[in-house]
Copies of this chain bind each other. A is one copy, B any other.
Amino acid sequence: MLTHPVDASIRVRYAETDQMGIAYYGNYLAWFEVGRVEWCKAQGFNYRDMETDDGAFLVVAEARCRYRAPARFDDLLTIRTALKHARRSVLIFEYRVLNQETGQLLATGETVHVVTGVDLRKRSLPEKYLRLFGLEKG
């Protein structure tokens, strides 16, 4: 259902569990970030370089997660990430978290990002990234 998704793998750490015996809900946002970083690599660039070399930051403006089934310690998860929507200064990613062993869908989510400079002010994506986010050069 996701368009051109990219998969990353995560193994649930003990640190990520809580006393309910399941992964704490806040960790999913960090896992989404792992998914985004992997999505960038699959497009041929490192998000790290986008910050360092090009001074462009993807600041999170909104995040959402629906938790369908718990993830547990030592579970191997797939973080499936896709670009849902792109404009020159706004990007929306969507995610699915799956148990890699059973295939069960554990969570779905979405993050909205604003492109900014190091000063956190809105700017456009650097030219060289436009094509990588499916935006024509202009």
Contacts and interface: CB of A to CB of B under 8 A. Distances in A.
A57 to B, nearest CB: 6
A121 to B, nearest CB: 12
A124 interface: no
Contact of A18 (B14, B25, B61, B65): B14
A26 interface: yes
A62 B66 contact: yes
Question: Quick one: copies of this chain in the complex?
Answer: 4
Contact of A33 (B13, B37, B46, B120): B13
Contacts of A100: none
Nearest to A62: B66
Contacts of A28: 26
Given A47-B74, A63-B64, A74-B37, A15 B24 contact: yes
A102 interface: no
B46 A74 contact: yes
A60 B67 contact: yes
A59 interface: yes
Nearest to A20: B57
Contact of A19 (B18, B25, B29, B34): B18
A45 to B, nearest CB: 12
A107 to B, nearest CB: 10
A115 to B, nearest CB: 13
